[in-house]
A and B are shown apart, each in its own frame.
Chain A
Amino acid sequence: MTGVVGAVLQVIVVGVGSPLLVGVMRQVRARLEGRAGAGVLQPWRDLRKLMRKEPITPRGTGWVFRAAPLVLAGTALVVAAVVPLVTTASPLDGVADLFAVTALLALGSVALALGALDTGTAFGGMGASREMTVLALVEPTILVSVFALSIRAGSTSLGSIVTATVEDPLSVISPVSVLAAVALAIVTIAETGRIPVDNPSTHLELTMIHEAMVLEYAGPDLALIEWASAMRLSVLLGLLASLFFPLGIAIADAGVLALLVAVIALVVKVGLLGVLLSVGEVFMAKLRLFRVPELLAGSFLLALLAVAASFFLA
């Protein structure tokens, strides 16, 4: 029962909170750069404004273009329900393990890239090709690094990995976890299109990856994409927090109170990670596009070493 309630709570918290997370991150950046900033609620205001606009699509685009935002938002919501953020006993956990989550994330990215290709513009194609370059190294890294953690738990279900960590918190201080944490942090940054891989706040053609793919979208479609990107960011940050710092997560058969505590813990943890990420972004420059595969190959190697180390140092 708590599992169902927890899963619903997760979807609500992620759905409502992720634009706020983006707002907080922009506000932190603005303050550190000496600007006043638009306020934490600005992403929600933007979404409301976009939702009211007339849905238009460029001439010549087909159903792929129109379906892409829906698929992206849908997969983000399903992942938010499955990943252990508030409760480890999600009712979907049995059918959706680590491989399913990674596949769902990849499905969303591929849908968006196909939508960008469907417009037939130069920018769309460029953005899609860059996104695929990044994706090709990001997805295996997520798989391999979480797989390294799953060896200890003896199961690829994310819920049981987190439960194992909750039961033995000191096991986080091992080379396997450290290597996997670094790898997963790097791919989280790459997957969500933050500095140093992609700059979320420019329209400069040299730098954009995500922006180039969504240039042709307008109105409610754009709102869906922005919302889904925010949800992916908060789900991945939440996954990072749950896997390596599972303090406060409600395990199976916990009461309603535990769920409330878990929600607060989740908000605090993800908020802290978001602030940390945006502070890091202020002090960093974007990498050249040709250096990005180097960074991602590095994180893939770390993930692979994490798996190797979990066999070496068993």
Chain B
Amino acid sequence: MTDAMYIQLLDLACGAFLLTGVLVLWRRDLSAIVWLFALQGVALTAMVIVLGVRQDDLELILIGLGVGALRAALLPYLMRRALVASGEARETQPLVNVATSLLVAAVLAMLAYAVSQPLVRLSPTPATQAVPVALTVLLIGFFVLVTRRRALSQLVGFLLMDNAITATAFLTTSGVPLVVELGISLDVLLAVLVLQVLTTRMRAAFGGTDLDELRELHD
């Protein structure tokens, strides 16, 4: 792979990663949000595989495929199942309206760029230069987590953050060891499964997953 092509492919994957993260803020349809999350998983996979091919590292490529299987296939599948079971199609009323949250995302992108500058300056390679993208998605994920009301879209916020952390890890180091990545992935899977059980229980107990309505204690 030539230098120019490597940079172009890596940038394209990072661009898609960022775009899907931002579009999650835009859409209200929960099924569309799950789709976007799956696409982001594909972009993350492409990023890791491009890095792996560049470094001629078979282990990294395999890790990339594993990441793809988990984040582009298994997690979206689990979320879609939860979505179908819940019958709630829309994020009705986010705490911050969509237009404002899009503008907040712009500010978050600037913030991510500012704080990641020292990190990029340590070793300015094409991969580390993409770190602000990952940090932007991290902040956007956090923003989704704190401003959405439905349990499922909060879960997407959490997973966006996790995607971004994985992306940062791969971009800053020359490859995360298999054991570490395996541990993280299993952790995330476990968290999603636990949250899925939790949402099912919530719905059974309260008839909905709007977290703002869960203020009183029930017995």
Residues of chain A at the chain B interface (Cβ within 8 Å):
170, 173-176, 178-179, 293-294, 297-298, 300-302, 304-305, 308-309, 311-314
Contact across chains for A301 and B102 when beta carbons are under 8 A apart: yes
Contact across chains for A300 and B19 when beta carbons are under 8 A apart: no
Contacts of A304 in B (CB 8 A): 106, 109
Measured between alpha carbons, how far is A170 from B22 in the docked complex, in Å?
A: 25
Residues of chain B at the chain A interface (Cβ within 8 Å):
8, 11-12, 14-16, 18-19, 22, 26, 97-100, 102-103, 105-106, 109-110, 113, 126, 129-130, 132-133, 136
Contacts of B100 in A (CB 8 A): 297
Measured between alpha carbons, how far is A87 from B18 in the docked complex, in Å?
A: 35
Contact across chains for B15 and A300 when beta carbons are under 8 A apart: no
Contact across chains for B113 and A308 when beta carbons are under 8 A apart: yes
The A/B interface has a contact count, at CB < 8 Å, of 74
Q: A173-B12, A174-B12, A175-B11 are in contact. Are A309 and B18 (CB under 8 A)?
A: yes
Contact across chains for A308 and B22 when beta carbons are under 8 A apart: no
Contact across chains for A311 and B12 when beta carbons are under 8 A apart: no
Measured between alpha carbons, how far is A305 from B15 in the docked complex, in Å?
A: 9
Look across to chain B and name the residue whose beta carbon is closest to the beta carbon of A303.
B106
> Distance (Å) between the CB of A180 and the closest chain B CB?
11
Contact across chains for A305 and B106 when beta carbons are under 8 A apart: yes
Measured between alpha carbons, how far is A301 from B109 in the docked complex, in Å?
A: 10
> Distance (Å) between the CB of B127 and the closest chain A CB?
10
Contact across chains for B8 and A170 when beta carbons are under 8 A apart: yes
Contacts of A301 in B (CB 8 A): 22, 102-103, 105-106
Measured between alpha carbons, how far is A170 from B11 in the docked complex, in Å?
A: 13
Look across to chain A and name the residue whose beta carbon is closest to the beta carbon of B18.
A305
Contact across chains for B11 and A313 when beta carbons are under 8 A apart: yes
Contacts of A293 in B (CB 8 A): 99
> Which 7 A/B pairs are nearest by Cβ-Cβ distance?
A175-B15, A297-B99, A297-B102, A313-B11, A294-B99, A312-B132, A301-B102
Contact across chains for A308 and B15 when beta carbons are under 8 A apart: no
Contacts of B102 in A (CB 8 A): 294, 297-298, 300-301
Look across to chain A and name the residue whose beta carbon is closest to the beta carbon of B26.
A298
Other A-B pairs, 7, CB within 8 Å; known A294-B98, A312-B129, A313-B129: A173-B12, A175-B12, A300-B106, A301-B22, A308-B110, A311-B113, A312-B130
Measured between alpha carbons, how far is A174 from B5 in the docked complex, in Å?
A: 11
Contacts of B126 in A (CB 8 A): 313
